[in-house]
A and B are shown apart, each in its own frame.
Chain A
Amino acid sequence: MPVPSQVPRELVPRLYAAYLARLPRYSAIRYFEDLVAPVREAVVAGRVLRYHPTQLPLARWASPRIMTEGVRNFSFGRPEIRLITAEFDIRRINIEVSPIFPRLGKVLATEDAVEKLRQEAPVDRTEVVEWMHDSASATAVMSAREVEYNKHSQVETRSSDGYIPGVRLSSLSFERVRGYEYWSRGYARAFTPIGTVNVPRMSLRTIVGRDFLGWAFAGPQYWIQWTGVLAELRRLADRVTSPVGFPNLWGRVPPFWLLQQPSRETQRAEVVMVIDSDRDQRLRVVFRDPSDYTRVVDAGEIDVPRGRSEVRFVVASYPAVPPVVNEVKPEDNTRTVLNRFETRVVS
């Protein structure tokens, strides 16, 4: 290989030796290419908020025609439900434990964790105070769910005191107010890519923007502190092969978004979901346009019995079933686990 004349002569032997040493290690590496959504900007509360949109791994066959006409003609059929077992035992479901609090075991709801945390670190009014248990229980639940979600999709979550030290994610943050202010006003304010969103006390608001999906939960408050939980989806999954639990935050259960996309171009596809539920409930399913998440293409409800059941429904469209965002929302006060989600081509 010719030595460039601009390189000082004394450096050449060292550079050449280092190059030869690295050559076998790195020359065979295959580089990764991807379609990247850049950081986008929105004006929120008079300030520029830079945020990361929720990305979709779209199939190569998803042409502009399918993404427009296909979405317009989209419909879904009557769901079929097959009960596999009526038993619901969280210990038998293969959900993850929190990587931060592995000693708590499997926790799907904050109330499962909060008592154990109180025993472990009792309130001493000096270093440990009440909000920490609430916040830690939300962290325990959400960090375990994050591990499950991230096997398929990309999610970022955080919970803490909304006043100090504050809760913030890459694209979402809670307004910093004292607990009593939040309590007397009745809602917390979240800065999101879709603007400022009011989140009523002890409730959960989904944040659905044209290119952004996430949710905010405003939890219990004390005089100064209160617990806020935020989650934002960075990339959606198109199939789920291992259990993904729905977090239960003081009874509120957020939805989960999935990309419903057949493996090839087809006019009919079948969606298969295996769901564990601790009681009979009505799941709400919303289909959203992948080009604009705020546009609801279709929606429906599925009655799921207690235990493990398999849900199947057919989706159809012309010229082909388009990729759509499937929003699955269990009822509040339930413990629900999505074990499997896939979209099969029906020939």
Chain B
Amino acid sequence: MSLRLYNFPFEARVGRRTYFPTVARLPGWMAEPRYRAAVALPGRPSVRVVGPYSEEGLEQPMEGPAPSTMDWDRIVAWSREIAPVEDPSIVSWMHTCVPKGHLVITTSGPKDVSEVSVGDRVLTHTGRFARVTKTFKRPYRGKLIGIKLVGFPDTIWFTPEHPILVGIRELKGAGYRRREYKILWIRAGDLQVPREKVMGGAYKRRLYCLLPIPRADGDGFARPSAPLARFIGYFLAEGSTHVSSGGCRIELTNSDSKIIDDMVKSVREAFGKEPYVWEDKDGVAKVRIISKELYTWLRANFGTNAHNKRIPGWLLAWPAEYIQELLIAYWYGDGSYQPRNGYHRIAYHTSSKMLAIGLRLLELKLDRETTIFKRKDKEHYVVYVNNPEGRKGCPEVRIVDNYLWMPIKEIVAEDFDGYVYNMEVEGDNSYVVDTIATHNCHAANVVISARMEEYKRLGSSLVGASDDPFIPGLKVEDIRFRSERGRDVAARGYAVLETPRGSVNVPVPGKATAVFRDLLAWGAVLEAFLVQWTGVLLKWRELATNPGDRVAFPSFRGLAAPQFFVHSSSVPAPVNIARFSITTDRPQTITIRARNVNDYTDVMFEDRIQLGEGRNEVELPIFGFPVVPAMVIEIQPEDGAKTILDWYEVIP
């Protein structure tokens, strides 16, 4: 038995609550008062690759044989093998197992399902854009289930076994005045439209199809501005592109002089160009711009002719005021105003179905409900916007809980013989049955248990867990994720990791390191569904000192967690050589930070070191004043790489 020196007490208090800080063992000489404030800076590191990548010596989880804990995909596949789902169906709304002719909303605008390819980013049921990782095409002969909606002109067809996201509204209470909303997945083949009505003629229960309100996406590449928004609005409504001997030109057409003036102004302010304005023989004014770059950009993003005009997904990331400008300009060009039975509503007209859907999404961003109608025997779509005052227009189409609810009018079935299309979407591939998130939780737990054992082998302590934080809830000792529904977390864009020292926002999906004065933790959100979401928590309870054995960096679905340990010299010295070995499966740049043992938020230095594939031996000179103090070293590898710390030693 011996007395050891630590930087923090093993128990600390915030108010009435006790928590357990991350403690680090310090060398005895650090008790000297003048060394407590010692500082350090790094010199130039030297790196050499000395061997190939290998996973030898890493721990396996206690609970049973499992594939390498470094290979996330294999662990998830193994988890699915040991607990197979009965019906693995992908449920991204409107995107799956549908015949040709259905549109999928991507960041480059709506696309036919048959044209979606791997790498496209599609709108998922959570309202975010996620990457397509696989596409499927299969011949299908049998019944297709068609859903006819209020406020959408076309029937949407699915294969019967595929679940779709539906909302149920029930009228309850005295006089059926109370409305209750529920969202769930139902197989297309099991859908039935309830017909029971209450007094007054309203349906007692009503089924709805749901369209998520799209969230901001990082793909936006045109800097938003009011003139540009107005120009795009005019172009979508009245614009056309032409090539002739005179070059590539863009023309905006209108007969109203005020609108023509505004078009000229918007072009001038957005591009700094002076457009050419002229009148044709019918007296219609035209605004012409000659620019090859603008011609190419407009055709690539907004379509090439009136029937395939579209709104790219990145426009949805624009602030509401610019979207409003765009819609106003569009309405000046192709809009109408319809006074009707004492109220009014505005409408947009287009011959492009893709543009009609795009306008609906833009209106959704402004929290306005829309209905789309199609003129009979004509490719002419009208997008009506519900009057927000008194919800007049089509009151059955409404926004509830971040979705546009569209009532199902009718379910029909039809024989089909042809190809159906399907895709696998990163993150939001929601597998039905009880193991949606649980497979990933299980895989994460397998990784955590192996890393915990490795850390313990070094004589220190890392605790962690993965589960659904809404229900059953996720906590690790005194840190936890706030228990919220998946859709709320996804709509907000981040989950809240609560620690005794404060909260940290973890992006969905994404990761965050929680560093406080005496606490080190890490949280990740792997995916979010409607109710469930997958959270991972790690907490360092006691840090290893100069780890002498192999310990892998925890990595969950490509999100790599850092490793924390103590850099400790046996004797006080003004110069230390930190020698360490890191094995990685691909070249990467690691970030190394030295944190103060008295306050982990105090970063003494930060450096980046480029590593090659295989085992890298690194020598990093560290200079201190008056000596190099004991420090907490944080090494953060790149996401997606398999990284192992082989050993770390300090030469004073």
Contact = CB atoms under 8 A, between A and B. Distances in A.
B5 A168 contact: no
Given A15-B41, A126-B184, A140-B473, A100 B575 contact: no
A7 B623 contact: yes
B434 A224 contact: yes
Contact of A127 (B7, B182, B436): B436
Given A50-B456, A121-B470, A32 B163 contact: no
B598 interface: yes
Nearest to A3: B625
B625 A161 contact: no
A161 B467 CA distance: 9
B5 A15 contact: no
A127 B37 contact: no
Nearest to A118: B471
A19 B79 CA distance: 52
A139 B30 contact: no
Interface stretch (A80-88, A147-155, A305-313): A147-155
B174 to A, nearest CB: 20
Interface string A1-16: 1011011100110111
Contacts of B625: 3-4, 7, 12, 15-16, 18-19
B472 interface: yes
- Of the candidates A127, A154, A191, the one having the most CB atoms from chain B within 10 angstroms of its own CB is A127
Contact of B624 (A15, A100, A132): A15
A32 B598 CA distance: 11
A132 B472 CA distance: 5
A346 interface: no
Interface residues of A, number: 83
A136 B471 contact: yes
Given A39-B461, A139-B472, A166-B442, A99 B531 contact: no
A129 B471 CA distance: 10
B19 interface: yes
A139 B37 contact: no
B532 to A, nearest CB: 5
Interface residues of B, number: 96
B11 A129 contact: no
A269 interface: no
Contacts of B2: 35
B266 interface: no
Contacts of A284: none
Contacts of B40: 15
B472 A136 contact: yes
B17 A143 contact: no
Nearest to A136: B472
A160 B18 contact: no
Interface string A23-56: 1011111011111101100001101011010000
Contacts of A178: 83
B475 A139 contact: yes
Interface in A170-229: 170, 173-176, 178, 191, 224-225
Contacts of B41: 11, 14-15
14 contacts: A8-B623, A27-B37, A31-B7, A32-B6, A34-B4, A50-B456, A52-B461, A100-B480, A150-B20, A154-B10, A163-B83, A175-B64, A224-B83, A235-B10
Interface of A: 1, 3-4, 6-8, 11-12, 14-16, 18-19, 22-23, 25-29, 31-36, 38-39, 44-45, 47, 49-50, 52, 99-101, 117, 120-122, 124-129, 131-133, 135-136, 138-140, 143, 147, 150-152, 154, 156, 158-161, 163-166, 168-170, 173-176, 178, 191, 224-225, 235, 242
Interface of B: 1-11, 16-20, 26, 30-31, 33-34, 36-41, 43, 62-64, 79, 82-83, 91, 163, 182, 184-185, 430, 432-439, 441-442, 444-446, 448-449, 452-453, 456-457, 459-461, 463, 465-468, 470-475, 477-478, 480, 483, 485-486, 498, 529-532, 574-575, 596, 598-599, 602, 604, 623-627
Given A50-B453, A132-B471, A139-B472, 4 more contacts: A128-B532, A165-B442, A165-B467, A173-B62
